[in-house]
Amino acid sequence: MNTKTTFRFSLMGLLVSAAFASGAVMAQAAPQTDVPGHPRVNEVNNRLDNQQNRIQNGVKDGQINAKQEARDEKQDSNIAQRESADEAKHNGHLTKAEQHNLNKSENHDSRRIHRQRKKG
């Protein structure tokens, strides 16, 4: 190999290492989901983040299996899609009724996650 090729591989290796390191640091940091001036959006997002953490902890503990995790992830994804669609209708905001409906779905999810972890 010539020097130019070695340099390119070294540079690519360094970039890949930096990307993995920064990804690990970002994964450990608290997610920044707060949107200034949107308290209803923030509440829904924070609850979704909390439920994601509970699901992952349940998987780690062996209390939630892969099938349950997939179902819970799919439900959370559905709630997030509904939230995005509702926000799009109202210039990035949620109405009280939309927030109520999303919270109702999150409550249902939360109870199911709790039951799953309790059984495990």
Going from N- to C-terminal start, the domains of the chain cover 1-30, 35-119
d(CA 64, CA 71): 11
Share of the chain above pLDDT 70, in %: 72
Query: Amino acid identity, residue 41?
Result: V
Total-model pTM = 0.68
- pLDDT the model gives residue 5: 61
Each residue of 26-78: pLDDT tens digit? 444 445 557 787 899 999 999 999 999 999 999 999 999 999 999 999 999 99
